[in-house]
Chains A and B, each alone.
Chain A
Amino acid sequence: MAKSFLTGRWLLLLLLTLLSLIFCLNTGAVTLQWQALWSCLNADCQQPAQWQLLWQLRLPRLLLGFVAGAGLALCGALLQHLSRNPLADPYLFGVIAGAGLGATLATLYLPASVIALPLAAFIGALLAIALVLAFALLGRWQQLDLFILSGVAVSFLFSAITALLLYQHDPFAANRVMFWLMGSLSRASYQPLWFILPCLLLCLMLACLFRRQLDAMLWSDQTAISLGVPVQPLRLLFLLLTAALTASIVAYCGGIGFIGLMVPHLVRLLLGSQALTLFIGSSLCGGIFLIWVDAGARTLLPNQELPLGVITSACGSLFFLLLLSRRRG
């Protein structure tokens, strides 16, 4: 009974994924006829403009949104599982502050180019992760609390440097960096997918393979080790993987907050908290959530695009307040 109930929910989730992808593909300032959309997808476009709209603008943006949402939610689920802390978030390692500093430096000092900003943001994010790891490794790195606290400290340090740089320079640069930090898929192309998708698939595949080990790690380290789980190497492996995946997403999409924190909680409520269910469910729900948020960001205001982080943070805080009020009730 319970099994068929769960299978039903999975089927519903897959159907929702498919429908969301199709609807969001056709959402925007211009809406195509469904027949035109279908023939364009079958490489039989009637008009070159439609082909360009669909294949060069909408599809890469849709795919990047889905992959970024899936990646952030998966990272959140993994980190919450690994740290046994329901408030863990992919931005735990100071990734967003590091990427912000990189983006600021690129905006202020590098000539504008397509690759400069994401590359600088990625390097900034990696630098933040390296610093967090170095601080944590100096102490007793087995304790996850040290990772989290080092992440908070590095975040503040990088944010302070970013604020100082922006304060001393052109206010327009500050505006550009702020907009980027709030998250956007406006620079979407197929190129970032080659970067983010392998990271996501590797993370998801390893998380599914080590599902039992990760479930055992929900208990104390001693219990997990007595079950034959190499706790410290696995924890380090997944910390590095989630850090790399988050850094690559932030580099291209900016700081899209709350997905990594909120989506795993939603999946636990709907599908359960076993590792396999949580990781696959979070990836699908994170992807669906972000493409709808992006569709909203493009269409809520006429001729204007809202930053994604604004919508995800608003949804996230409302969701948590709802969750809290339900628990109290």
Chain B
Amino acid sequence: MQPEWVLSCHELSFRWAEAPALSNISLDLQQGERLGVIGPNGAGKSTLLKLLAGLYPATQGEVLLCGQPIRYFNLRARARQLALLSQETEQPQAMTVTELMLLGLLPHKKLWQQNSKSDLIKLQQCLAQVGLTGKQQQQLTDLSGGELQRAQLGRVLMQGASVLLLDEPTNHLDIQFQHQLLQLISSLKLSLVASFHDLNLAASYCDRLLLLSNGVPVAIGTPAQVLTEPLISRVFGRPCLVDNNPFDGKPRLTFAPGVC
């Protein structure tokens, strides 16, 4: 019997005007699976996440959400199934952490509906999960980069979607929170597609990795299959060594310093 894919695409391509941005991406994501998207700057990681979120129309191929073409979903129904954390260049001038996180409830609320007591309980839980308890009334402009990123993740968690698309979720986070948040997402058994610049983090927390280069998929498979010395050295243009992380046994990469 064919497994139930929560998110999949086959031969997906996208062009910016005349320039191809992504070509021939095929992937299937199972319930609870975590897929990491890695690649150098400009490889098409963010574009792929936005295509999977249905924000851009594919020029070829189709994204399927729970077996249905994503364009058949209305926006609210889609937002209940799938949440996106994109890289924001600027935040609103005046908004508190609570106000931001409550936005996550938007796809679940009717126009006239008020927030209930259970919503506020959920808010407290999410605040605790992202380590922002006690900062709920703080203005976003007064937060550090890492705290802002955690508040954004809190909003994504409040959305209650079963598929998360996270564009560089560990940006601005210190080592402790990087691991804490990825551990949290792993424990919630959510399906995840996330882009990473830190290949070792991707190796530790993702079941599979997709390596992109210039908008083309170079490899997809388990971290051990994708993170090989010749492949990574070729794509990132820098010699590297791969051994095993002594804590979890996953591949660990070390890049050569200096000019190569």
Contact = CB atoms under 8 A, between A and B. Distances in A.
Contact of B99 (A222, A268, A274): A274
B190 to A, nearest CB: 15
B94 A226 contact: no
B75 A215 contact: no
B36 to A, nearest CB: 20
Interface string B89-127: 101111100010001111101011000000000000000
Interface in B220-259: none
B17 interface: no
Contact of A225 (B75, B89, B99, B103): B75
A226 B137 contact: no
Interface residues of A, number: 24
B159 A227 contact: yes
Q: DSSP class of A's interface residues: helix, strand, loop or mixed?
A: loop
Nearest to B137: A2
B88 A223 contact: yes
Contact of A215 (B95, B111, B112): B95
27 contacts: A84-B92, A86-B93, A209-B111, A212-B106, A215-B103, A216-B106, A218-B92, A220-B89, A222-B53, A222-B55, A223-B84, A223-B88, A226-B79, A226-B82, A227-B79, A227-B103, A227-B104, A227-B159, A228-B76, A228-B77, A228-B80, A228-B106, A228-B107, A272-B94, A273-B92, A273-B94, A273-B95
Given A209-B111, A225-B55, A230 B99 contact: no
A106 to B, nearest CB: 41
Contacts of B88: 219-220, 223
B83 interface: yes
A215 B99 contact: yes
A120 B71 CA distance: 46
B135 interface: no
B103 A216 contact: yes
B50 interface: yes
Contacts of A210: 111
A208 to B, nearest CB: 9
A222 B84 contact: yes
B78 interface: yes
Contacts of B86: 220, 222-223, 226
Interface centre among B50, B89, B103 (most CB of A within 10 A): B103
Interface of B: 50, 53, 55, 75-80, 82-84, 86, 88-89, 91-95, 99, 103-107, 109, 111-112, 137, 159
Given A223-B88, A272-B94, A230 B103 contact: no
Contacts of B53: 222, 226
A213 interface: yes
Interface in A261-275: 268, 272-274
A57 interface: no
A262 to B, nearest CB: 16
B79 A228 contact: yes
A229 interface: yes
Interface in A228-265: 228-230
Nearest to A213: B106
A212 B55 CA distance: 20
B138 to A, nearest CB: 12
Contacts of A215: 95, 99, 103
Interface string A77-93: 00000001010000000
Contacts of B111: 209-210
A283 B38 CA distance: 50
B93 A273 contact: yes
A218 B95 contact: yes
| Nearest 3 CB-CB pairings of A with B | A228-B79, A273-B94, A226-B84
Nearest to A210: B111
A180 to B, nearest CB: 36
Contacts of B159: 227
